[in-house]
Structure 1
Amino acid sequence: MMLGWVQIVRLGLVQMALGAIVVLTTSTLNRVMVVELALPATLPGLLVGLHYGIQITRPNWGFRSDTGGDRTRWIVAGMAVLALGATGAAWAVLLFEGAVLLGMIVSLLAYTLIGVGVGASGTSLLALLATATAPERRAAAAMIVWLMMIFGIAMTAGVVGTLLDPYSHGLLVRVVGTVSLLAVLLAGLAVYGIERRTVAPREPDPAPFRQGLREVWAERRTRHFTIFVFLSMTAYFMQELILEPYAGLVFGLTPGETTTLSGAQNGGVFLGMLAVGLLLSGFRIGGLRGWIVLGCLGSCAALAVIASIGPMGARDLLLPSVVALGLFNGMFAVAAIGAMMALAGQGRDRREGTRMGLWGAAQACAAGFGGLAGAALVDLARAALTTDAQAFGTVFLFEAGLFVAAAWMAAIIIDGRRSAPVVIPGE
């Protein structure tokens, strides 16, 4: 029995709860450490990088959900660990005031738990979605789940921002703890009973993890798609840390204006995901490969415009070009997730979670690497070139080139049909 629309929305609630906790650790706590505690910006950056780095364990979590015969357990357990990590990270902020070393130790432990929790719950959730979703519904399912995550992030940021005024460290701990607890309860209720009613019971697989991972990595489709995920996600995240500084240094935008610009970009991502999900599943227009290629090439074009308007001083073109970048990013992302779910069920049976874990690890590594690489390249370019506009523009053009490479790779390895599997020519 395949997932119905109501059950897909329920799994989206789990992803929404996950996003609600993660946004507190990557934005709210980040700001508090830099502004209220006056700590070096590198510190929260390294802590966020730690949680991304821990997610290289995603294949292990996916394998455990494959072989254990119960993905729901790993989803709920992962959410609980994530909540514990987020609450611990907020408590560490309180400790930094009087005991920096203790605060640092607690932070390292907390962000490790965050990485473990995201890896365990997120990978098992996507594996369940891939296993139990009908092929013709996969693009729409990906759209629903990711749009709900974006909604959860936006809603949590707005509500928590209101609750934290007037600010105190103690209030921060209480708010983060409450949000985390509610998120775990929501996720548990949302996922309850879905796996039992849609996925046939399976006996646990006694194969060890290394054997399972070797079996999956031996699949040519899986290897090629892993490379595609890392390449495309590196391009996707390379502008994350440099777009707002570019707007401020080159166009003179204030912090409030650059925050609005970032929000507009995320709005474009939302619209791009919504459009592709509806066109693919509702109106049967296009296939996964076509939307991935269009999204990558459109992102390339938007980045080229963003790079070119800096030297021209064309400030009026910045907002529409950034919205266009978000729109094409959203198109590419939701179609790529649909292709990922299609491929997860191909190859050796009962390895969906291992494949999703492998691609999740590639995405997490790309997120950390892409953001840091973009920032480092800008620093190098600013030292070598005459103006900030030229420096940032050079990096944006390099990122555009990565999107072209990702489009070329997608055109080769992904079938053009609507609910496409991934095919490697010559197999």
Structure 2
Amino acid sequence: MRSSFGWWSIVRLGAVQASIGAMVMIATSLLNRLMVLEYGLAAGVPAGLVAWHYVVQLSRPVWGHGSDMGRRRTPWVLGGMAMLGLGALMAVHATTMLDTSRSTGIALAVLAFTFIGAGVGAAGTSMLAILASGVAPERRAAAAATTWIMMVMGIVISAGTAGALLDPYTEARLVNVATGVVGVAVLVTCVAMLGLENKVGVARRGETAEPPASFADALREIFQEPEARRFTLFIFVSMLAYSMQDLILEPFAGMVFGMTPGQSTSLSGLQHGGVLIGMIVTGIGGSAFAGRMPVELRVWTMLGCLGSALALAGLAMAAGYGPGWPVAANVAALGFFNGAFAVSAIGSMMGLAGAGKRTREGVRMGVWGTAQAIAFGLGGLSGALGVDAVRNLTGEAGTAFQLIFALEAGLFLFSAMLAMRVASHKRPGAFLGTAGI
């Protein structure tokens, strides 16, 4: 008989997600800002590095299929976290080399972001597969929301802590802060995973279902399912909209509002704090109204996307207004509405993960993780390159940020329409499921 995780086990998996988020924050948020403002690189350089780590994550289905074929997924999680931590520290070292040897520093950064992408792909995909296979179906969406909230908490805590410890900025201080974040994240992961998979491991060894499909057959099965295809498209478009501000928010704070590295990092933490609150409020709302009224994907997702579009329109206005605009409240609102639409998508992903006849959770989570990774890579890179291009044409940083934020707002409006179309193919409430916490 198949065992399932209790809530304490789900929280432990959430701690792994939080550790992944804490280490990724160093590379995609903190170092991005430092490379642009402290070391004078064009915004497209760190954006390209972050995009490259998403390209590496195209291997997610391969990692997931590999963990499907084995008896245990824990080694994939721990190995991935080791790669991620090594890559984060290599990226910090590469950044500190930019003043003395720019070409060597950039070359080392490319290698570092390769490790980061591989680590996130291996650890993240396998961890989500453990969650999907180890949690009872009625708890999957709620468990997914819980672990995602904990990941955001990891980003918020690490960003806030790093921001407070980095001022006044020195390279030695950067190395010490990054080493501390990586060390704590790896330790937390090892403790959290200790013995966690025993129940699921026993269940998997005793399964009598037919063996997993080959990798090619698994991909073919997934993309023959209309529901899976529609959901993959929704993930791609919504995450493209979600990610465009990621690499330009901190440079925006520095260029337009004159914030220090610590202040802009803290602002990024405030955004992720808004995401956390949005997820919690939306999850509680889903639980409160479950069983009383039909709760459709379009309700939660459209509200989140429309609110995100309004918040981005506010940031576009802030780029022209400058100091005096309530930028902190604006960024927090953006995070809140981002979190609102994210909860329903996460719940759906977990609910569909075990729907295959022969494909198992690892490869299916890998496919959707790949769609998200491609969208994040394109979104972050296009946002940064767009800012660079408009700045070069106009000589005005504010105008560049205005245009990109307005474009992102338009993408969120398109995502809202797409979400309504996806929802129309499902029964009321099916997409959100039990995403309440």
TM-score (norm. length: structure 2): 0.82
1:266 to 2:272 alignment:
yes
Q: Does 1:409 align with 2:418?
A: yes
Whichever residue aligns with residue 273 of structure 1, its letter is M
Moved more, 80-89 or 392-401: 392-401
**Cα shift readout 1:120-164 (whole Å, capped 9, x = no counterpart):** 001111122222333443343233212222222232234445556
Report the Cα distance in structure 2 between the residues aligned to 1:51 and 1:343, rounded to whole angstroms. 26
Cα deviations by residue, 1:281-311 (Å, 9 ceiling, x for unpaired): 4663734443122212222333345546767
The answer to whether the Cα contact below 8 Å between 2:273 and 2:335 also exists between their aligned partners in 1 is yes
The correspondence for 1:255, drawn from 252, 259, 262, is: 259
**1:223–1:255 distance in 2 versus 1, CA, 3 Å:** same
Comparing 279-288 and 398-407, the one that deviates more = 279-288
Structure 2 match to 1:226: 232
Distance change (3 Å), C-alpha of 1:416 and 1:307: farther
Asked if structure 2 preserves the Cα contact closer than 8 Å seen for 1:135 and 1:419, the reply is no
* Residue type at the aligned position of 1:201: R
Count of aligned residue pairs for this structure pair:
420
1:323 matches 2:332:
yes
Q: Do the aligned partners of residues 346 and 370 (structure 1) sit closer, same or farther apart at CA in structure 2, a change above 3 Å counting?
A: same
Q: Counterparts of 1:113-262 in structure 2 under 5 Å?
A: 113-161=115-163, 169=171, 172-173=174-175, 175-198=177-200, 200-202=203-205, 205=211, 207-243=213-249, 253-256=257-260, 262=268
CA 1:303/1:175 → structure 2, altered by over 3 Å: closer, same or farther? closer
CA shift, 1:187, in A, is: 0.9
User: Do the aligned partners of 2:160 and 2:269 also contact (CA within 8 Å) in 1?
Assistant: no
Task: Name the residue aligned to 1:56.
Answer: 58
Q: Deviations over 1:251-271 (max 9, x none)?
A: x53325766654443332221
In 2, Cα distance between equivalents of 1:46 and 1:397 = 22
Contact kept? 2:58, 2:373, Cα under 8 Å? yes
Residue 65 of structure 1: CA displacement? 1.7
Aligned counterparts of 1:391 and 1:164: Cα–Cα separation in 2: 28
Supply the distance in 2 between the matched residues of 1:60 and 1:340 (Cα, whole angstroms): 18
Taking structure 1 as reference, are residues 292 and 394 closer, same or farther at Cα in structure 2, changes over 3 Å only? same
- Distance verdict in 2 for CA 1:378–1:81, change over 3 Å: closer
* Alignment pair present for 1:420 and 2:431: yes
Contact 1:342 1:419 in 2 (8 A): no
Find out whether 1:345 has 2:354 as its counterpart: yes
| Structure-2 change in CA distance of 1:24 and 1:261 (3 Å) | closer
In structure 1, stretches of 5+ residues that fail to align are 423-427
1:371-393 alpha-carbon deviations (Å, 9 max, x no partner):
22234445566688898777655
Q: Is the deviation greater in 201-210 or in 358-367?
A: 201-210
Which amino acid in structure 2 is aligned with residue 254 of structure 1? Answer: G
Structure 1 residues 213 and 237 mapped into 2: Cα distance closer, same or farther (>3 Å)? same
- Contact 1:140–1:280, Cα closer than 8 Å, also in 2: no
C-alpha change, 1:409 and 1:174, in structure 2 (3 Å) is same
Aligned 8 A contact 2:159 2:269 in 1: no
Specify whether residues 349 and 287 from structure 1 end up closer, same or farther in structure 2 by C-alpha distance, changes over 3 A only.
farther
| CA displacement 1:317-348 (0-9 Å, x = unmatched) | 65544433222111001211111111112233
* Correspondent of 1:29 among 20, 31, 36: 31
What residue number does 2:114 align with?
Answer: 112
Please, which moves more after superposition, 45-54 or 235-244? 235-244
Distance 1:212 1:14, change over 3 A: same
In structure 1, the residue matched to 2:372 is 363
2:20 is matched by which residue type in structure 1? Answer: L
**Cα gap change, 1:159 to 1:318, in 2 (>3 Å):** closer
Q: Is the 8 A contact 1:89 1:106 kept in 2?
A: yes
Residues 1:165 and 1:248: Cα distance change in structure 2 (over 3 Å): closer
Q: Is 1:222–1:355's contact at 8 Å kept on the other side of the alignment?
A: no
1:277-356 equivalence runs, <5 A: 277-281=283-287, 284=290, 286-307=295-316, 316=325, 319-356=328-365
Indicate if the aligned counterparts of 2:65 and 2:362 stay in contact, CA closer than 8 A.
Answer: yes
SS in structure 1 opposite 2:115? Answer: helix
CA distance in structure 1 between the partners assigned to 2:139 and 2:193 by the alignment: 19
Query: In the alignment, what sits opposite 1:425?
Result: none
3-state secondary structure, aligned to 2:246: coil
Aligned equivalents of 2:264, 2:163: Cα separation in 1: 18
Is this contact kept in 2: 1:17–1:152, CA < 8 A? yes
* 8 A Cα contact 1:139 1:281, kept in partner: no
Q: Is the 8 A contact 1:269 1:327 kept in 2?
A: yes
Alignment of 1:42-53 (within 5 A): 42-53=44-55
Q: 1:381 to 1:210 in 2, by over 3 A?
A: same
Please tell me the residue identity of whatever aligns with 2:242.
Y
Percent of aligned pairs sharing the same letter = 48
After TM superposition, the structure 1 = structure 2 runs for residues 25-104 of structure 1, keeping only pairs within 5 Å, are 25-34=27-36, 41-93=43-95, 100-104=102-106
**Which deviates more from structure 2 when the two are superposed, residues 50-59 or residues 7-16?**
50-59
Alpha-carbon contact 1:96-1:103 (below 8 Å) kept: yes
Could you give the per-residue CA deviations for residues 190-209 of structure 1, whole angstroms, max 9, x where no partner exists? Answer: 12333221461247946442
CA drift of 1:54 comes to 0.8
Query: Which TM-score applies when normalising by structure 1?
Result: 0.84
Instruction: Tell which deviates more after alignment, 79-88 or 410-419.
Output: 410-419
Could you tell me whether the CA contact under 8 Å between 2:21 and 2:152 is conserved in 1?
Answer: yes
Matches of 2:298 and 2:87 in 1, distance apart?
A: 38
